[in-house]
Amino acid sequence: MVEPLGRASAAGGPARRAAAALAAVVLACPVAQAQSAWPDRPIRVIVPVPPGGTPDVVARLVVTPMAARLGQPMIIDNRGGAGGLIGAEVAAKALPDGYTLFLSSPGPLAILPHLQKKASYDPINDFTPIGLISSGPFLLIAHPSLQARGIGELLALARAQPGRLDYASAGNGAANHLAMELFKSMARVDLSHVPYKGAPQAVADVLAGQVPMMFNSIAPVAPFIKAGRLRVLGISSAARSQQLPEVPTIAESGVPGYASTTWFGLLAPTKTPRAIVDRLNQVLVAVVQSAELRSQFEAHGHDPAGGTPEAFGRYLREEFSKYATVVRQSGARID
């Protein structure tokens, strides 16, 4: 006798549910084991600039002590170009297994998406924040041949020659690009943008006098400033830097209210297991807030950060919104 389908289903329901639950446990075991064994091989850290740029310097400061604590090598993978777009694309498409991380500045995640019609990645939803590393100001540097020794003289020169003064940047969408666009907008001056494929190349041309000026982080240009090969016109922070107290802020030098800083943070592809994210955050915070790293960050004009993944996520969304306004008001666009 064949039992009606309804009765068979009812009778077999608990057995089927038990079997399904057992199957789920069995299937989940390899995932759980993989997570518990993490990391058991080298971790790749994508840095979206060429070697020598400030993000690369920060990455190398951080990954060595992190690797020691994690017990596995952390290999830096420099993917420069397009203001960080190339590196961000690679990171966004990587497997969310904890073996590919992304060290970013504002450019790829908070700025670039507003400068093009459609990004190939979602800066908010395609990444899982791990932690904020540090933040710091830019210096407005110039070749000594520029006929301006400070912000006031630069403004006068720019207004007398609208559109004829050039400035370099690390590329369209880079943080130092938008720092200058904000300066142009607030100071009401017209300067011409010369984008490069990274800050080192841009700094090299400013040193050579090929381009008269640019915004750049402190560390890579400090030796050239000390040697007299570059001149500092101002600093982009709201208050003077403790590391360079003699350098006036742009805000106090003729552009009231101006402030623009850069930051660095560590992220993973979205859906990276929470246990791995928490472990990485724990290690990152311990490294960033160590006495050794704190002194090195401060020597480079940066303040060490840390904090939770959630705090970094909120900050990233705030930065994304802020730069949307900056881009709209400045009219900046991808060339």
CATH number for the domain that contains residue 318: 3.40.190.150
d(CA 253, CA 331): 24
119 falls in which pLDDT band (50, 70, 90)? confident
Residue 121 sits in the same domain as residue 61: yes
For the chain, percent of residues with pLDDT exceeding 90:
61
CA 335 to centroid of chain Cα atoms: 21
pLDDT higher than 90, residue 331: no
Average pLDDT of the residues of the chain: 87
Q: Which of 185, 218, 253 is the last residue of a domain?
A: 253
Structural domain includes residue 30? no
Q: Which of 33-37, 38-42, 56-60, 159-163 has the lowest mean pLDDT?
A: 33-37
DSSP string, 105-154: -HIIIIIHHHHSS--SS-TTTSEEEEEEEEEEEEEEEE-TTSS-SSHHHH
**185-199 per-residue burial string, b: 16 or more CB within 10 A, e: under 16:** bbbebebebbbbbbb
Same-domain pairing of 212 and 302: no
144 & 243 share domain:
yes
Task: Tell me whether residue 63 is in a domain.
Answer: yes
What is the number of domains present in the chain? 2
Instruction: Say yes or no to pLDDT of 8 above 50.
Output: no
DSSP H stretches of helix in the chain: 5-37, 54-70, 85-92, 106, 112-115, 151-160, 175-187, 199-207, 218-226, 274-288, 291-299, 309-330
Residues 232 and 273 in one domain: no
pLDDT (mean) for 126-152: 96
165 in a structural domain: yes
pLDDT at site 30: 46
Most confident of 32-46, 109-123, 190-204, 267-281: 267-281
User: How long is the chain?
Assistant: 335
What local confidence, expressed as pLDDT, does residue 26 receive? Answer: 46
Decide: helix, strand or coil at residue 169: strand
The pLDDT tens digits of the residues spanning 149-166 come to: 999 999 999 999 999 999
**Is residue 190 domain-resident?**
yes
Specify the pLDDT at position 252: 97
* Residues 282, 239 share a domain: no
Q: Which domain holds residue 175?
A: 137-253
Q: What angle do CA 303, 276, 26 make, to 5 degrees?
A: 175
In the structure, what pLDDT confidence band is assigned to residue 335 with cuts at 50, 70 and 90?
low
CA distances from 267 to 170, 254, 305 (A): 21, 37, 14
* Same-domain status, 96 and 175: no
| 214 in any annotated domain | yes
Give the least confident one: 72-86, 135-149, 194-208, 290-304. Answer: 290-304
The domain boundary, picked from 204, 219, 253, lies at 253
Record the tokens describing residue 204, joined without a space. 């090299």
Strand pairing partners for 157?
Answer: none
Please indicate, yes or no, whether residues 172 and 236 belong to a single structural domain of this protein.
yes
**Which tens digit of pLDDT belongs to each residue from 231-257?**
999 999 989 987 889 999 999 999 999
Residues 111 and 71 in one domain: yes
Domain contains 164: yes
Asked whether residue 11 is domain-assigned, the answer is: no
Q: Is residue 33 part of a domain?
A: no
Say if residue 160 is in the same domain as residue 306: no
Domain end (from 221, 253, 285): 253
Q: What whole-number distance in Å separates Cα of residue 262 and Cα of residue 264?
A: 7
With cut-offs at 50, 70 and 90, classify the pLDDT of residue 292.
confident
CATH number assigned to the domain comprising residue 189: 3.40.190.10
